């Protein structure tokens, strides 16, 4: 058992804090947002993430929340930094939260040896930056040298929102970059139950079949930091690649779903992240690829593959608008029913959501956008506001619409009673920007159905 502090209770910080407490560590999670901390103390997570509330309840005896560095830091053997690194205007990440966290940690370092492990995604070299800030803050506060009291590590986080707890408890690998062997040792011990998969799984998060020991990869600081950017950029360009091919498939009359399957069954390539659609978004891929490009510029290097992934991605949203224009001729005054607002299913995170990027393009063209989302509506009302209309039910979102656009592949959209809903629409047109619905069933139910990189379907005249 270790004493752990986690600075920042966003998606990464909270998932890590709760998972570590579940494994038996004593965890103090710290956030500067008082309202968030008040909610967390009552057992209420500040965002939607499957099973988070239940795992918090199971771990509550070892999980504490505070807004005060002096309560979290002095007793901790390992302190994680998990604050936000949103994009700054120049494309690089804004490191102000990391700076404040490092200074807060430095001012309150305790007597024992502390490992300061960075989980926030930060540009290569930030480990040294964090180390310098912690040292300076400690020395300014205490008037003595900080040498030997702490060591910095980079421990990049690979969790996916919507599966954050699965990914925390059952990761593909754990990467730790550090120059000090004690930091690596402390983190290896901390993660031992995960590395060896020796913990009893929570009843609602069963261990995946064939899950073996988890690789623990130790590197220098810079390599660990670059691994995170490399992984996200690669996944983003894998999606952009299949989207680029989807455009060609559409012209040629091929079906990109079959093509992707045929490509992805090659073990060297893999099936995941080969779904053609509206493109990537969310809180990580856009900002991390931009940051990688910014790092390249700093070192005098262009990264044309990453640049191209961006271009293809922006194009994907426009392609949906073009499909709508092809059918409706103008979008002015037309009502578009937009299904899904979150950047992917099983989260209410709207940061850089492709659905919102598409909504903006539709609004620019004079359409009215009426949106539905199974969980993100309250957040959208707060964060997006009145430029969109919001609807809580299938009937409300579809009534009188000139077209339906599926933007986020929430599973429940597949089970809507599309045949019964059709009379509500002004025009039975579905643009499935995620190739998520059963197009043939929709065509049989009287819809014109357009996907991405797949043959268009016309309503089937049913023979009576
Ligand atoms: N969200 C993801 O899926 C994901 C996955 C992997 C890595 N990351 C990276 O992890 C980091 C955190 O991402 P997130 O999505 O959890 O961010 P987030 O914005 O959801 O959460 C950040 C939290 O830090 C708090 N905070 C800000 N300044 C603070 C300070 N000085 N002291 C204490 N708390 C402070 C904020 O109030 C907020 O609750 C980012 O660098 C991100 O790139 C995110």
Contact 101, 83 (CB under 8 A): yes
Measured in Å, residue 45 CA sits from the centre of ligand 1 at: 14
What CATH number did the domain enclosing 437 receive? 3.40.50.720
Looking at 219, 251, 277, the residue that finishes a domain is 219
Residue 417, pLDDT score: 98
Measured in Å, residue 81 CA sits from the centre of ligand 1 at: 9
Measured in Å, residue 262 CA sits from the centre of ligand 1 at: 38
Q: Read out DSSP for 17-76?
A: HHHHHHTT-EEEEE-S-HHHHHHHHTT--SS--TTHHHHHHHHGGGEEEES-HHHHSTT-
pLDDT > 90: percent of the chain: 96
- Cα angle 191, 110, 2 (rounded to 5 degrees) comes to 20
Residues 92 and 131 in one domain: yes
This model's pTM is above 0.75: yes
What CATH number did the domain enclosing 300 receive? 1.10.1040.10
Encode pLDDT of 377-418 as tens digits.
999 999 999 999 999 999 999 999 999 999 999 999 999 999
Ligand 1 lining (C-beta closer than 6 Å): 7-13, 30-33, 36, 82-85, 97, 100-101, 104, 119-121, 157, 159, 161, 283-284
Residues 171 and 245 in one domain: no
Looking at 289, 310, 331, the residue that finishes a domain is 310
What average pLDDT is seen over the chain? 96
Looking at 287, 310, 333, the residue that finishes a domain is 310
Contact 9, 36 (CB under 8 A): yes
What is the arithmetic mean of pLDDT over 321-336? Answer: 98
Query: Could you tell me the strand order of the sheet in which 3-7 lies?
Result: 63-66, 26-30, 3-7, 78-81, 114-118, 150-154, 174-178, 216-219
pLDDT band (50, 70, 90) for residue 296: very high
Question: SS3 for 260?
Answer: helix
Cα 93 to Cα 111: distance, rounded to the nearest angstrom: 33
Encode pLDDT of 229-279 as tens digits.
999 999 999 999 999 999 999 999 999 999 999 999 999 999 999 999 999
Residues 264 and 320 in one domain: no
Contact 434, 409 (CB under 8 A): yes
Residues 76 and 197 in one domain: yes
Residue 464, pLDDT score: 59
Encode pLDDT of 266-283 as tens digits.
999 999 999 999 999 999
Residues 293 and 353 in one domain: no
Residues 186 and 287 in one domain: no
* Structural domain containing residue 77: 3-219
Q: Is 343 exposed, middle or buried (0-12, 13-18, 19+ CB in 10 A)?
A: buried
Residues 238 and 376 in one domain: no
For ligand 1, atom 11, the nearest C-alpha belongs to 120
Q: Read out DSSP for 379-435?
A: HHHHHTGGGSEE-SSHHHHHTT-SEEEE-S--GGGGGS-HHHHGGGSSS-EEEETTS
pLDDT band (50, 70, 90) for residue 462: low
* Residue at 458 is within a domain: no
Q: Which residue numbers are catalytic?
A: 284
What is the arithmetic mean of pLDDT over 20-28? Answer: 98
pLDDT band (50, 70, 90) for residue 443: very high
What is the arithmetic mean of pLDDT over 431-459? Answer: 97
Contact 116, 6 (CB under 8 A): no
């Amino acid at each position: 058992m270790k004493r752990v502090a986690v600075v920042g209770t966003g998606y990464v910080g909270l998932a890590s804090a709760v998972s570590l407490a579940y494994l038996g560590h004593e965890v103090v999670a710290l956030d500067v947002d008082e309202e968030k901390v008040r909610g967390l103390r009552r057992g209420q997570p500040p965002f939607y993430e499957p099973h988070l509330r239940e795992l918090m309840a199971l771990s509550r005896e070892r999980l504490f929340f505070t807004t005060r560095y002096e309560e979290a830091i002095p007793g901790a053997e390992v302190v994680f930094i998990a604050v936000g690194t949103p994009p700054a205007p120049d494309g690089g990440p804004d490191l102000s939260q990391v700076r404040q966290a490092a200074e807060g940690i430095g001012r309150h370092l305790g007597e024992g040896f502390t490992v300061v492990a960075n989980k926030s995604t930060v540009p290569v070299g930030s480990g040294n930056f964090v180390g310098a800030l912690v040292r300076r803050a400690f020395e300014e506060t205490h008037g003595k040298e900080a040498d030997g009291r702490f060591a910095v590590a980079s421990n990049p986080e690979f969790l996916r929102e919507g599966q954050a707890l699965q990914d925390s408890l059952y990761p593909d690998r754990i990467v730790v970059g550090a120059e000090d062997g004690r930091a690596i040792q402390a983190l290896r011990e901390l993660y031992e139950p995960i590395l060896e998969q020796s913990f009893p799984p929570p009843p609602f998060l069963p261990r995946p079949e064939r899950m073996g020991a988890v690789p623990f990869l130790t590197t220098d600081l810079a390599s660990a930091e670059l691994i995170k950017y490399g992984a996200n950029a690669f996944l983003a360009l894998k999606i952009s690649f299949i989207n680029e091919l989807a455009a060609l498939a559409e012209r040629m009359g091929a079906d990109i779903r079959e093509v992707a399957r045929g490509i992805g069954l090659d073990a060297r390539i893999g099936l995941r992240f080969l779904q053609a659609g509206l493109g990537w978004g969310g809180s990580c891929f856009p900002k991390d690829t931009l940051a990688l490009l910014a790092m390249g510029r700093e070192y005098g290097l262009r990264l044309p593959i990453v640049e191209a992934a961006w271009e293809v991605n922006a194009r994907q949203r426009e392609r949906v608008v073009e499909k709508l224009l092809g059918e409706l001729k103008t979008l002015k005054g037309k009502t578009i029913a937009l299904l899904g607002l979150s950047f992917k299913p099983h989260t209410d995170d709207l940061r850089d959501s492709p659905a919102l990027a598409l909504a903006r393009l539709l609004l620019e063209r004079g359409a009215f956008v009426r949106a539905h989302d199974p969980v993100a509506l309250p957040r959208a009302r707060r964060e997006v506001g009145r430029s969109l209309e919001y609807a809580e039910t299938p009937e409300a979102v579809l009534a009188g619409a000139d077209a339906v656009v599926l933007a986020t592949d929430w599973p429940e959209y597949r089970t809507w009673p599309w045949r019964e809903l059709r009379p509500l629409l002004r025009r039975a047109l579905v643009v499935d920007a995620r190739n998520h619905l059963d197009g043939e069933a929709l065509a049989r139910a009287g819809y014109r159905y357009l996907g991405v990189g797949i043959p268009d379907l016309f309503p089937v005249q049913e023979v009576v």
